[in-house]
Chains A and B, each alone.
Chain A
Amino acid sequence: MTNGHYGPYGGRFVPEALTAALDELDAAFRSAKEDSAFMQELRALERDYTGRPNPLTYAKRFSEHCGGARVYLKREDLNHTGSHKINNVLGQALLTQRMGKKRMIAETGAGQHGVATATAAALFGLECTVYMGLEDTRRQALNVARMKLLGAEVIPVTAGSQTLKDAINEAMRDWVASVDTTHYVLGTVTGPAPFPEMVRYFHSVIGIEAREQILGIEGRLPDAVVACVGGGSNAMGLFSGFMDDEQVILRGYEAGGDGVETGRHSARFSGGTPGVLHGARTYVMQDQWGQTAPSHSISAGMDYPGVGPEHAWLHDTGRASYEPVTDAEAMEAFAILSKTEGIIPAIETAHGLAGAMRIGKELGPDSVVIVNLSGRGDKDVATAARWFGIDLGSTVTNELSPEMREGR
């Protein structure tokens, strides 16, 4: 099997009890990739269920805010369930069946991965449990309701910071005890091998489509492809299509929160150091003793102290670069895209859009930039309304938790 390393990053740092399951998963993944029946089933699901290929939309009016660069949106928001997350989940759900397991568990931050997993579980008739930090269940109440409607059990995690990292801890604890019957559908390109490689593989369809589409429209490769980076799965999916095109700039945008200088952020490459978290060596926000430091972002899906190990390696080798985008910059981009293109993005995605505005100005008016529109913003309407001071009125307010009404 592969050693699962990207330079010094990646690997497997897990309790021995999980080794057999990871070996089983690795073997199932490798045999499935070579199995034309499996791949045909996956491609058919992508086409008939997810709705792929999704468009590459030229954002004419948004481009005016990007230094005149021609900015294209890869429309993962148009996938069934509203984000890129479904690409990975359908692949892992097919693997769950292939391994003869009956139950899927998942962690979720913004709820998009949880919704996608609950969706696939419903489609395949599998049991589903989703772990979500209590703080995130409040920030993303709409997605909690969606998961429950889809038949999943949602367990709020009260440990630690009550966010994505704690949800991953809890999912791992479940998995150690249930591994005979349960597959852990990890939602991003991190965790122990083979997860980073496997999740990238299932998202590589994003980059493959985008490359073909831009060559068809522009007749040339883009100057840059950009994406938001929480764990980094949507970025890795897009980047993978252009990895070997060395002239194409790959740039990821992390959550700068209140500003990297305030310490309240999730910018691992600006404020983190190499360490081990959740089974992989990567860049981690940690203190001098190796204790995980609190992360912050207005966006639940970006609020994570680690990052995919391949991103760590791309950062060190210089093939990709990473910059922080503050909450305020992301919300500005959120508003601009909504008003210029009629597309309300997820707040995670808005970090990538802010990046497109920045890099477009850097590269100038003749440049071509692709930004991954990784998810739609319906789930974020309440957060955005609070940010922009929009009065939600009594009808809507009644559906919000007391904390939300108080504006917390």
Chain B
Amino acid sequence: MSSLKKTSILIMATTVAAALSVSVAAAMGDKPSASASGMSQVGPTPAMAGTFAKAPEAAIPPLAPLGEPPIPPDNPMSKAKIELGKLLFFDPRLGGDASVSCATCHDPEQGWSWAEDISRGYPGTVHWRSNQSIINTAYYSKLFWAGSVPSLEAQAPSAAKGGVAGNGENDLMEARLRLIPEYVKRFNEAFGEPWPTINNAWKALAAFERTLVQRDTPLDKYLLGDSSALTEQQVSGKALFEGKARCILCHNGALATNENYYNIGVPRAGRWLEDGLAQITFRFEYYAKGATEELYRTVKDDVGLYFRNKNKWDKGKFRVPSLRYIGYTEPYMRQGQFYTLEEVIDFYDRGGFDEEGNTTSYPKTKTPLITKLNLSDEEKEDLLAFLEAFTGEKIMMAKPRLPGYKPLFTLAELEAAQAAK
């Protein structure tokens, strides 16, 4: 067991050395310095290498077994809170017209996500990005494709209230919770407050989501010392992952993501060219996110991180997603551009181009980390086999029976109030 661990660490060390020249850029995300100074985009700059020499702590963290999820001090876990959060996750009354719950789009059957290129939306709409799995979201320090929220507590209201997602309104959703006696009781048990509040609902949802983790994948078992957990082919794939295929540069650490932002060359979603409903949402997103008039008029792709900071060198950059649980979360990429992992591997092998030669709408910001890989067919198969090791058993959950509404007052109470008017 210990010897295996050593081997693993040794591989890591070799990989890190091999990736030395680009590791700083990988660890830091593509920061503006190179673009802003007009330096070449094709490779790491001397400045970067120099930074690395001074900052060895920026080395790439190895893949690691997934530990316990971090729990924020202002939302401690409790059984009551988690069970309440589970009910709320499946309850469509936390939405506009009470027809869609969190679980409607983040469907356990579909990998706690939605198995179409672009997520379904609120009735009458379609979303504009691919729906991400809930599994292991407990570990992210930023959520959504452009990393726009820092916690699950902040993600929940964005999803429940967004016009193409839940389209709910705080006051009405809160009122609904208060007319469900079982929730009044459970919120009181979980939070010690007389009435359910919408903010506590987000906390309960977050607590429930922190239980949706998978820490026993073949990869976890292997990294914990069980050499039989990976096949020979997967072990070969792991070496490619950490070496020639360069995946580790961004997909590293226990969560298999450094959570930095890159433009890796994913082409525009075809859906926007052929679906009127998707064209509506596309424009809405730019309108709603406060784009300039010029951007709103001219943009034809998802600018990603640029929405948040308006730095032109961040156009088309997205937060690296985890590779965990990807066996159930197809399609892949921000608008589900690829339906299979084979397509994904081919995309990287070509250096960020799809099979028709399409790439990012923002080539200036494309990361130099993405280069042609020249993987053989066998290597691709090995890599694919290894990617499967990031996924364990399918996490299933039956929809719980939801508690019903009950009138808050009796007829007698209302009649008494009427008489006392």
Real complex partners, A and B?
Answer: no
